[in-house]
């Protein structure tokens, strides 16, 4: 488990959004260092959509130093690596490391305006930097917390096998597939397949769904057209 520390957060809305991100992904402990608008905070409550009920009691400290006392490993998040000799991790590598070490770990995030100070970062063991676009790097506080929480949850999940359809032929485009559905729809109308017109949308959804999920190729859709042509040419007994 990792705990989240927000250092000098300004807007209650962002504290609420951070809590929401944490609750979504099962994190429990949120610590606030010197929140600008005090605590508790109505804007935080409103923007959390109930997330605080899923967290342990929020702890508030005056200084980062006091807050991190019980932790063994601290990761500091920064938009860009600072001029300090620390290991810089992507979120993925950081969480891998955290799960491997199994130490009491906190991830700290700076306030909206200035991020973490050099003093704050100096207290951290490691740095996490988000691998954003070089030309557009603009994650806000709550987005950064969300990405850390989601990555933590992702790596805590078991992974699994998966089956893939077919060999080499080109997957059909949605447009071609829709032409087939339109034709099938028209032919089924002629054949009075939809005895109850109210049910037609649901039935067409089901039909659409079963064919879509098959990941049809161009060739297979041609085959299906051929099947329809063949069937409608049959004489009724």
Separate counts of helices (H) and strands (E) for the chain: 9, 7
- 225 vs 145, 170, 208, 228, CA distance in Å? 50, 17, 15, 5
Judged by CB under 8 A, the stretch of 4-12, 30-38, 108-116, 140-148 that binds a second copy is 140-148
Task: Classify each residue of 35-71 as buried b or exposed e, where b means 16 or more C-beta atoms within 10 Å of its C-beta.
Answer: beeeeebeebbebbeebbeebeebeebeebeebbeeb
Closest distance between a second copy and the C-beta of residue 9, in Å? 18
What ranges in 62-140 are assigned the alpha helix state H?
64-67, 91-101, 118-122
Phi, psi angles (nearest 5°) of residue 111: -70, 170
Shorter beta-carbon distance to a second copy: residue 8 or 97:
97
Binding of a second copy by 130 (CB under 8 A):
yes
Closest distance between a second copy and the C-beta of residue 179, in Å? 10
Binding of a second copy by 44 (CB under 8 A):
no
Calpha distance 73→17 (Å, rounded): 25
- Within residues 95-124, the interface with a second copy by CB under 8 A covers 97, 100-101, 103-104, 118-119, 121-124
Shorter beta-carbon distance to a second copy: residue 60 or 139:
139
DSSP SS3 for 49: coil
Binding of a second copy by 87 (CB under 8 A):
yes
Shorter beta-carbon distance to a second copy: residue 36 or 86:
86
Shorter beta-carbon distance to a second copy: residue 38 or 124:
124
Phi, psi angles (nearest 5°) of residue 49: 40, 45
Binding of a second copy by 138 (CB under 8 A):
yes
- Within residues 190-219, the interface with a second copy by CB under 8 A covers 190-193, 201-216, 219
Sole binder of a second copy in the list 15, 32, 33, 51 (CB under 8 A): 51
Query: Which string of x and - marks every residue 14-33 that binds a second copy (by CB under 8 A)?
Result: ------xx-xxxx-------
């Amino acid at each position: 488990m990792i705990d989240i520390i927000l250092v000098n957060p300004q807007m209650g809305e962002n504290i609420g959004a951070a809590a929401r991100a944490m609750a979504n992904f099962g994190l429990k402990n949120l610590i606030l260092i010197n929140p600008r608008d005090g605590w508790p905070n109505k804007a935080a409550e409103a923007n959390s959509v109930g997330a605080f009920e899923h967290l342990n009691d929020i702890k508030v400290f005056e200084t980062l130093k006091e807050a991190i006392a019980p932790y063994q490993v601290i990761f500091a998040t920064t938009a860009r690596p600072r001029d300090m000799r620390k290991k810089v991790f992507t979120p993925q590598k950081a969480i891998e490391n955290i799960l491997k070490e199994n130490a009491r770990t906190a991830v700290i995030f700076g306030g909206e305006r200035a991020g973490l100070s050099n003093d704050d970062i100096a207290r951290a063991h490691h740095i996490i930097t988000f691998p954003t676009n070089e030309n557009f790097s603009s994650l806000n506080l709550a987005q950064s917390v969300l990405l850390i929480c989601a990555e933590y949850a992702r790596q805590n999940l078991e992974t699994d096998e998966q089956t893939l359809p077919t060999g080499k032929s080109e997957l059909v485009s949605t447009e071609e597939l829709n032409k087939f559905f339109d034709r099938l729809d028209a032919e089924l109308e002629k054949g009075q397949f939809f005895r109850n017109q109210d049910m037609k949308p649901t039935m067409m959804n089901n039909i659409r769904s079963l064919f879509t999920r098959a990941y049809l190729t161009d060739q297979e859709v041609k085959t299906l057209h051929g099947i329809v042509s063949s069937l409608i040419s049959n004489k009724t007994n």
